[in-house]
Amino acid sequence: MVSRRVALTAAGVGIAGVAGAAAVGAAMMDEDRSPAAASPGDAVPFYGEHQAGIVTPAQDRLHFAAFDVITKDRAKLVEMLREWTAAAARMTQGRDAGLLGAVGGQAEAPPDDTGEALGLPASGLTLTIGFGRSLFRDAAGVDRFGIADRMPAALEPLPHFPGDALRPEISDGDLCVQACANDPQVAVHAIRNLARIGFGVVSIRYSQLGFGRTSSTSREQATARNLMGFKDGTRNMKLEDTDLLREQLWARASDGADWMAGGSYLVTRRIRMTVETWDRTPLAEQEAIFGRDKGEGAPLGQAKEFDEPDFAAKGADGEPVIAKEAHIRLAHPDFNNGAHLLRRGYNFVDGSDGLGRLDAGLFFIAYQRDPRKQFVPVQRSLARADILNEYIRHVSSGLWACPPGVTGDGDHWGRALF
Dist. CA 157–CA 355, nearest whole Å: 34
Q: Which residues of 287-305 are buried (b: 16+ CB within 10 A; e: fewer)?
A: bbbbbbbbeebbbbbbeeb
Instruction: Please name the residues in contact with 68: beta carbons below 8 A apart, sequence gap of 6 or more.
Output: 173, 174, 202, 203, 205
Q: Which residues of 136-147 are buried (b: 16+ CB within 10 A; e: fewer)?
A: bbeeeeeebbeb
Dist. CA 203–CA 215, nearest whole Å: 30
Of the residues 128, 182, 236, 248, which one makes contact with ligand HEM according to CB under 6 A: 236
Nearer to ligand HEM, 8 or 298 (CB): 298
Cβ–Cβ < 8 Å for 153, 256? yes
Contact between 362 and ligand HEM per CB under 6 A: yes
Count of residues binding ligand HEM (CB under 6 A)? Answer: 27
Contact between 190 and ligand HEM per CB under 6 A: no
> Which range binds ligand HEM by CB under 6 A, 121-129, 141-149, 278-286, 372-380?
372-380
Of the residues 332, 344, 369, 412, which one makes contact with ligand HEM according to CB under 6 A: 332
The site map against ligand HEM for 386-405 (x = CB under 6 A) is ------x-------------
Nearest CA to 52 among 24, 29, 77?
A: 29
Contact between 378 and ligand HEM per CB under 6 A: yes
Q: What values do phi and psi take at 222, rounded to 5?
A: -70, 155
Other Cβ atoms less than 10 A from the Cβ of 50: the count is 21
Of the residues 5, 192, 292, 412, which one makes contact with ligand HEM according to CB under 6 A: 292
What size, in residues, is the chain?
Answer: 418
Of the residues 259, 311, 364, 413, which one makes contact with ligand HEM according to CB under 6 A: 364
> Which range binds ligand HEM by CB under 6 A, 2-10, 83-91, 229-237, 351-359?
229-237
Contact between 265 and ligand HEM per CB under 6 A: no
Q: What values do phi and psi take at 261, rounded to 5?
A: -60, 125
> Which range binds ligand HEM by CB under 6 A, 8-16, 39-47, 227-235, 395-403?
227-235
- Could you tell me whether strands 202-213 and 342-343 are parallel, antiparallel, or unpaired per DSSP bridges? unpaired
Residues 310-329 that bind ligand HEM (CB under 6 A): 327-328
Of the residues 41, 121, 152, 233, which one makes contact with ligand HEM according to CB under 6 A: 233
Dist. CA 309–CA 126, nearest whole Å: 34
Of the residues 9, 93, 226, 286, which one makes contact with ligand HEM according to CB under 6 A: 226
Contact footprint for ligand HEM (CB under 6 A): 226, 228, 230-236, 269, 271, 273, 290, 292, 327-328, 331-333, 341, 362, 364, 375, 378-379, 382, 392
